[in-house]
A and B are shown apart, each in its own frame.
Chain A
Amino acid sequence: MLRDSVSNLTVAEHSKYSIHEDPAAGQLKAALLKDIHRSVYVYRVDCGGCNGCEIEIFAALTPLFDVERFGIKVVSSPRHADVLVYTGSMTRSMRVPALRAYHAAPEPKICVAYGACGCSGGIFHDLYCVWGGADKFIPIDVYIPGCPPTPAATIYGFAISLGILGQKLKTSHHVQGEDEHVSLAHPQVPYLLRVQLERESRRMAGYLYGKQIADTFLTMLEENPNQVKENVQAYLDKQADPRLSEIVARLVTVYDGYQGAV
């Protein structure tokens, strides 16, 4: 019976008129949320993920995070489920099984799109063998973004879907004022020198640490250009990190080279 109702619709119709929730089911859901408090059964539907999301949901079940202490339990059949968690971008092969799982779960049910792919299709959103995120076909109540969401985010997401927390979806628009400007970083340091230092720092320590180390160096340079080497040395002695000393020594060489050229 379910199969018939699914197969009478073409894919284009599915995406155009995706399943609309029955208003009565919506009321039931509200009642369910009020009464549920504990013991929620979750069924996972992998629609074509890389297993990253599945593993993180799994991690949320294991002793360190242990969602079962909140009464959240993963079950093996959609017929037992209160919550359906859709992970992965919806592939062609998984569309019908995913819909079958949706119809198999009893009303009222809460549908969760999990992970970047489940929410929107992620990096795969426009591929030939993918239909997009789960919300193309299934009415989604809660989105848990992340690639993959951490176990902490997973628990937070479950709390939202149970109505313990409200999902904070906010938009705000900022219009730049007349006298509002983004201030330049390290305006005292000549542009060319700054670029050279930042580039060398990134080559040595990568984007994150490179930026942090370059910032520290540039700040010291701005504070006291005449005494920069002494200050840097004092800083390095305090940190006692041989790798940091090596990187900063390279920055000092770049600085000397620039001074020499000027």
Chain B
Amino acid sequence: MTLLMEEKPKVGTKYVAALRARFGAAILEESWQAPDQVTVTVPLNSLPDVVAMLYYEQGGWLATVAANDERPLNGQFAIYYVLSVEGTNEGSQAPENAYVLVRAQIPPHQPEFPSVTPKVPAAIWYEREVRDMFGIQPIGMPDERRLVLPDDWPDGLYPLRKDTMDYRYRPEPVVEDENYEFINVEGEGVVQVPLGPLHMTSDEPGHFRLYVDGEHIIDADYRLFYVHRGMEKLAESRLNYDQVTFLADRICGICGYAHNVAYSSSIERALEIDVPLRAQYIRTILLEVERLHSHLLNLGLACHFVGFDTGFMNFFRVREKAMKMAEMLTGSRKTYGVNLIGGVRRDILKEQRTLITQVLGELKSEVADLVSILLETPNIVQRTQNIGRLEPQVARDFSPVGPTLRGSGFARDIRVIHPYAAYDRVPWHVVSKDGCDVLSRTLIRAEEFFESISLIERCLDSMPAGPILTEGFKYKPYKYALGYVEAPRGEDIHWSMLGDNQKIYRWKCRASSYNNWPPLRYMLRGNTISDAPLIVASIDPCYSCTERVTVVDVRKKKATIIPYKEMERYCIERKDSPLKKY
């Protein structure tokens, strides 16, 4: 390794030592990408055991799983399980937080690997995605359905393999209808609720199915990824390193900048580029500006779903101030486009500083008023307390992120656990609650909002002098590293490997909602259907995504389709159950 890295002490050696003590010769190789990032290569058969040990015995959380077609490099596929290992002995000594990547090679003549999901449930979506995109079969995986690719995509065509297809190749649809098989819930009297894929209050299309007995939800299933476009392939084929930052902005229309920083920092970390301190501060400020508008949006929706529409409109009115702030700082309300590899593209001068300080003051007092009105509305506590419970054990098993996890008693925030940008240079504190319900998650967003304001103020006050861009570095092929950012809804993790033609070799980006969807099923169980939209909105999943709900009545064995609007109305008014009408 290079000189620079030896200067900093390595973090996480004790986890590697523990692995060696348990598995001995099964740890084939150990390599460090950064002082707190280590890759251990293990044989394919030990993969589930190694991941499970790190996850449950060493305090690991599953950050992402990246498969990679390394056949042009070494003749094998590879799969990386990325765990943020945080130790288990709390309080007694300083925590040792490191990213441990468990890597296993998969021979191309037998593209299979033993599934980790039976031991670590959090891996479920990742392994389904690996099967879709690379055609590598997880053996022993309980769920055989597609996750990412559309139903009309031909079998046996795996987009992310390097030798299968050009990124522009568009196969003819093999089927005209959606044929996704939702899970079958057996039992007396279930009602089905397919919500989707189009829906009014917004956004991403998605398709839900709720299984209910009378008014109570027994189970839920969903089909998402209607908007899969193939960004990862695009980044690998058409764009160069700097252009991918603009693509990363467009991963999500709400937390795009968080993705942008995660991507740039993964490349910077792989190349050991020193990003100037001032640029780090500017990134921190912009990330918090993004959190301001995202949290206001979710608070507004929380008002809407409990039927408090005045609050909803007021939160959105105030939110425009946060949007104005983003526009003053970056020139754009949404897709900021201010990152480059090595720094940022726009400074903060006196004019912007004065304006922002003024807007921050206005935001602080107006939102404080609105939040107190919201909490004094008797409806809100009544509708949200003990609703949509995410039990700590379920949270532990599925590695959810952001306010969803922090609402269940885990004070886990990537900004503290793996500090990046300027978060370890300004004082602030993590907000967590242990109510495990919709109320806790809403309150966390409200408190984090004020935390963000003071973070921005402190960053503006202590902003260092100096340049904002590093130039003149060289890209080195096949180096890889992680980039991580605590977006408003939880951590975004990017794993990037550099290529040899001024393009990324493999880019795996994982958005925060990705980890929050699988546990949602457990949050919905046991609640009444009138609370379903509220629970879905409480994980802020680029939000509720759905237009109609199929309700399956287990007792009457009858499937009814209810328009989403009707569900939303029922959630707000809580009378005239749609189940009786249809």
Listed in ascending order, the chain A residues whose CB lies under 8 Å from chain B are: 3, 6-7, 10-12, 44-46, 48-56, 58-59, 62-64, 74-77, 88-89, 91-94, 96-97, 101, 122-124, 126-131, 147-148, 150, 202-210, 239-244, 246-247
Contact = CB atoms under 8 A, between A and B. Distances in A.
Nearest to A247: B347
A45 B233 contact: no
A64 B350 contact: no
20 contacts: A3-B177, A10-B172, A11-B172, A46-B205, A51-B252, A52-B254, A52-B256, A56-B334, A76-B564, A91-B227, A93-B205, A94-B226, A124-B234, A127-B167, A128-B169, A129-B230, A130-B229, A147-B334, A148-B334, A206-B347
A244 B335 CA distance: 26
Contact of A50 (B198, B251, B347): B251
B411 to A, nearest CB: 29
Given A62-B320, A148-B253, A241-B350, A93 B334 contact: no
A97 B196 CA distance: 10
Contacts of B238: 126
B344 interface: yes
A235 to B, nearest CB: 14
Given A59-B323, A91-B228, A92-B173, A205 B317 contact: no
A147 B247 CA distance: 12
Given A53-B253, A59-B323, A94-B226, A46 B150 contact: no
Contact of B170 (A63, A101, A131, A206): A131
Given A55-B334, A64-B320, A242-B350, A129 B565 contact: no
Nearest to A130: B229
Interface in B191-236: 197-205, 225-231, 233-234
Given A50-B250, A51-B253, A127 B542 contact: no
Interface string B500-513: 00000000000000
B308 to A, nearest CB: 15
Contacts of B542: 51
Interface of B: 149-153, 159, 165, 167-170, 172-173, 176-178, 197-205, 225-231, 233-234, 238, 246-247, 250-254, 256, 297, 313-314, 316-317, 319-320, 323, 331, 333-335, 338, 344-351, 465-469, 471, 542, 547, 563-565
B202 A51 contact: yes
User: Which of B203, B233, B246: most chain A Cβ within 10 A?
Assistant: B203
Contacts, number: 208
A76 B547 contact: yes
A16 B335 CA distance: 33
Contacts of B229: 48, 89, 91, 124, 127, 129-130
Contacts of B199: 76
A128 B168 contact: yes
Given A93-B151, A127-B168, A206-B469, A49 B323 contact: no
B347 A209 contact: yes
A76 B350 contact: no
Nearest to B542: A51
B326 to A, nearest CB: 12
Contacts of A202: 469
B333 A129 contact: no
A136 B563 CA distance: 29
B571 to A, nearest CB: 14
Contacts of B172: 10-12
Contacts of A92: 150, 152-153, 173, 228
User: Which of B200, B314, B349, B542: most chain A Cβ within 10 A?
Assistant: B349
B256 to A, nearest CB: 7
A64 B317 contact: yes
A48 B226 contact: yes
Task: Give chain B's interface secondary structure class.
Answer: loop
A205 B253 contact: no
A45 B346 contact: no
A6 B581 CA distance: 31
Contact of A52 (B150, B177, B253, B313): B253
B240 to A, nearest CB: 13
In the A-B complex, the 10 residue pairs with the closest CB atoms: A52-B253, A76-B200, A51-B253, A62-B316, A241-B350, A7-B176, A93-B150, A48-B227, A205-B347, A206-B346
A239 B323 CA distance: 27
User: Which of B177, B201, B333: most chain A Cβ within 10 A?
Assistant: B333
Contacts of B231: 124, 127
B333 A128 contact: no
B334 A88 contact: no
A52 B349 contact: no
A203 B170 contact: no
User: Which of B200, B250, B563: most chain A Cβ within 10 A?
Assistant: B250
Contacts of B256: 50, 52
B204 A46 contact: yes
A203 B316 contact: no
Contacts of B467: 203-204
A202 to B, nearest CB: 7
Contact of A128 (B170, B316, B564, B565): B170
Contacts of B197: 93-94, 97
B332 to A, nearest CB: 9
A104 to B, nearest CB: 10
Given A76-B547, A129-B230, A51 B204 contact: yes
A77 B253 contact: no
Contact of B468 (A58, A205, A244): A205
A61 to B, nearest CB: 8
A55 B254 contact: yes
Given A128-B233, A243-B465, 5 more contacts: A46-B198, A46-B204, A56-B334, A123-B246, A124-B231
Nearest to B344: A206
A202 B343 CA distance: 11
Given A63-B316, A92-B153, A94-B226, A127 B234 contact: yes
A150 B333 contact: yes
A99 to B, nearest CB: 11
A53 B331 CA distance: 17
A91 B227 CA distance: 6
A222 to B, nearest CB: 23
Contacts of A131: 170
Contacts of A148: 253, 333-335
A188 to B, nearest CB: 27
Contact of B347 (A55, A74, A97, A243): A243
Nearest to A50: B253
A93 B204 contact: no
User: Which of B173, B471, B563: most chain A Cβ within 10 A?
Assistant: B173
B320 A76 contact: no
A40 to B, nearest CB: 16
A206 B342 CA distance: 12
Contact of A243 (B152, B153, B173, B349): B349
A210 B349 CA distance: 11
A146 to B, nearest CB: 10
A56 B256 CA distance: 14
